[in-house]
Structure 1
Amino acid sequence: MTVKARGAHAADQPIVAIDIARRAPGPRDVQIEIAYCGICHSDLHTVRGEWAGTLYPCVPGHEIVGEVSAVGNEVEGFKLGDIVGVGCIVGSCKQCSACDEGLEQYCERGMVGTYNGATADAPGHTLGGYSQRIVVDRDFVVHVRHPREQLAAVAPLLCAGITTYSPLRHWKVGPGSKVGIVGIGGLGHMGVKIAHAMGAHVVAFTTSESKRQAAHELGADEVVISRDAAQMKAHRGSFDFILNTVAASHDLDAYTSLLKRDGTLCLVGVPEHAHPSPYVGNLIFKRRAIAGSMIGGIAETQEMLDFCAQHGIVADIEMICADDIETAYERMLKSDVKYRFVIDAATM
């Protein structure tokens, strides 16, 4: 089946309208008519060849919400008309210890990404959600239980939402926790909302005084301007957990020094250039840790979506039509979006 999509034919070429083929649903497949697809910074890095290994044509998109239009005869739990989501993963080995524990994102043989992952389907690699339709193995599809009028704003939860929910859940954030969220962007704004809903005392860190009010409106109890040494010093040794969403190289010591004994600084952004080497003394003398986290498994993604539906959490978005993706990329590079672009797939 041929469907309309948006993709690029080379790293130095723009996103354009293209026709792509989708397989007919097999026994284990769910066919989804895409309604909305969020735009992630990873899309831009991949399509422009800024990360090694991009395969072309490249159709990005891994924040997908749509309606089930067909299911295979071995599919249980999904039926025609269901509203569902697809995130960053559409396959894994299902045999390694990570997959056995529901941690498909850490599959020891390598997860299959929703785009640019190896597949038997033409053209030999997966094509993502900047398209009208997608066909996905049932094990990598999740239910969306938000009201229909919120579905566009649900799409970014499939990446930005789970990327922040997973570490907050893993490090047991909840009532009594003092949690920092570094960066108030596509990821950070979700981190503030989710940590607040988990019952934590949330402190937002930003370099911009102009974001103070917005951070409070998202659910931050306090806002710290990270360039202000006095404000930073006032919080020294007081955090249980800090989630750092910033994807630019910066000094991590400024944040490790804010942790309590046994506190953890978790990184979810991958900088273009390495962070300066942290001062080990900050870690040794308080048994502090610097850790990392990557999206979440399928069961945890479902848990996140249900948590967000229960608490009325969605992303703050700006809707665009398919022809405006390149403009959105340029604006995203300038941080000119609050806080996530979402493509209306009806404009494909």
Structure 2
Amino acid sequence: MSTVAAYAAPSAGAPLERTTIERRPVGEHDVQIEIKYAGICHSDIHQARGEWGNQIFPMVPGHEIAGVVTATGPGVTRFAVGDRVGVGCMVDSCRECENCRAGLEQYCLKGFVDTYNGIDRAGNPTYGGYSTHIVVDENFVLRIPDGLSLQEAAPLLCAGITTYSPLRHWNAGPGKRVAVVGLGGLGHMAVKIAHALGAEVTVLSQTLRKKDDGLKLGADHYHATGDPATFEQLAGRFDLLLCTVSARLDLDAYLGLLKTDGVLANVGAPEEPVSLNVFSLIFGRRSLAGSAIGGIAETQEMLDFCAEHGLGAEIELIRADQINEAWERVLNSDVRYRFVIDAATI
């Protein structure tokens, strides 16, 4: 075991505090990573504040991890000391079920092992990226291409793959009209990726406050959903709506923006149940769907794609002692567009 520094929530809703945690020894197929940067995801806040149930405290959040390999187990074949690597939302899965064998570890039928707030195969709690080091099985480590800076790559391990996976699954590309609902940590990457895939991209946001940003990121159009005329003007226009917000929306109104056979895919997760009139689906053969992150192979594909197209996250780099302040700013939508912790300050 090794003792490393970390920032942890001691209990639900408590401010994060600097502490130490134990990391397991480097096993046969393990990779030890010195964490350089860790992104802050809205889900970190939900988990640490006890809003999603099944919390394990103390909790060290963080599943957007970028760093450098410092040690490898004797059986490791994919990585060497000095490699630039990343870790996303999962650090293991059953590897045996139908979905795992198909490269869909994010939909493991037995449940994947979360990077933090999870229980590993040995029965120990997992701790995330708000720390200086982590030990992960090589099969759940990603290679970060040289074309991406580590600090801009870190948020891609969640925000990037969470938007890339549904855009690829529902064939966003030339000739397709894609609308991104919300321009935040997820939404800004969705715009970049959809544009790079060749789709016609529209941002749908409550106001026009971020319009200039949206257009610079690659959007072709930008509309305010706070204006009822928007839903009349854009009725039946889109092949795909990618909803990145976690607020309750008028799903019937948004479904009305879809073409025949269009899809409204949710990657944001509202805390409360949502409802709709099923006729919004029946008339137009429209679909309401959801998507999680991606599997390991698809996440590597996403990183390579982002490197090829120069798609790093838009970040604000912070010190570890600014985490609690940054969380409050996330809740107030006061970040453009992802906070990233400099792990050297932990």
TM-score tier after normalising by the smaller chain length: over 0.9
Residue 35 of structure 1 corresponds to which residue in structure 2?
36
SS at match of 2:264: strand
Query: Following TM superposition, where does structure 1 have runs of at least 4 consecutive aligned residues deviating by more than 6 angstroms?
Result: none
> Would you say 1:191 and 2:200 are equivalent positions?
no
Residue 218 of structure 1 corresponds to which residue in structure 2?
217
Which amino acid letter does the alignment assign opposite residue 26 of structure 2? P
User: What is the deviation of 1:301?
Assistant: 0.3
Residue 346 of structure 1 corresponds to which residue in structure 2?
344
> Would you say 1:47 and 2:48 are equivalent positions?
yes
Distance 1:265 1:126 in 2: 33
User: What is the deviation of 1:120?
Assistant: 5.3
Residue 97 of structure 2 corresponds to which residue in structure 1?
96
Which amino acid letter does the alignment assign opposite residue 118 of structure 1? I
Aligned length: 345
Which amino acid letter does the alignment assign opposite residue 217 of structure 1? K
SS at match of 1:309: helix
SS at match of 1:35: strand
Residue 18 of structure 1 corresponds to which residue in structure 2?
19
Structure 1 stretches lacking a partner, 5+ long: none
Distance 1:190 1:8 in 2: 28
Question: Does the CA-based 8 Å contact 1:224-1:232 persist in structure 2?
Answer: no
Q: Which moved more, 1:154-163 or 1:222-231?
A: 222-231
Which amino acid letter does the alignment assign opposite residue 323 of structure 2? I
User: What is the deviation of 1:12?
Assistant: 3.4
Structure 2 stretches lacking a partner, 5+ long: none
Which amino acid letter does the alignment assign opposite residue 44 of structure 2? D
Distance 1:294 1:340 in 2: 19
User: What is the deviation of 1:50?
Assistant: 1.3
- How far does the alpha carbon of each residue in 1:230-277 deviate from its partner, in whole angstroms, 9 at most, with x for none? 2221211121111001101111112111111111000011101122x2
State the TM-score, normalizing by the size of structure 1. Answer: 0.97
> 1:1-348, aligned counterparts within 5 Å?
1-119=2-120, 124-147=124-147, 150-275=149-274, 277-348=275-346
SS at match of 1:19: strand
Distance 2:147 2:19 in 1: 32
Which amino acid letter does the alignment assign opposite residue 332 of structure 1? V
Question: Does the CA-based 8 Å contact 1:23-1:121 persist in structure 2?
Answer: no
Please provide the CA RMSD for this pair: 1.1
Distance 1:178 1:186 in 2: 21
Question: Does the CA-based 8 Å contact 2:147-2:310 persist in structure 1?
Answer: no
Percent identity between the two aligned chains:
56
SS at match of 2:303: helix
Question: Does the CA-based 8 Å contact 2:207-2:223 persist in structure 1?
Answer: no
State the TM-score, normalizing by the size of structure 2. Answer: 0.98
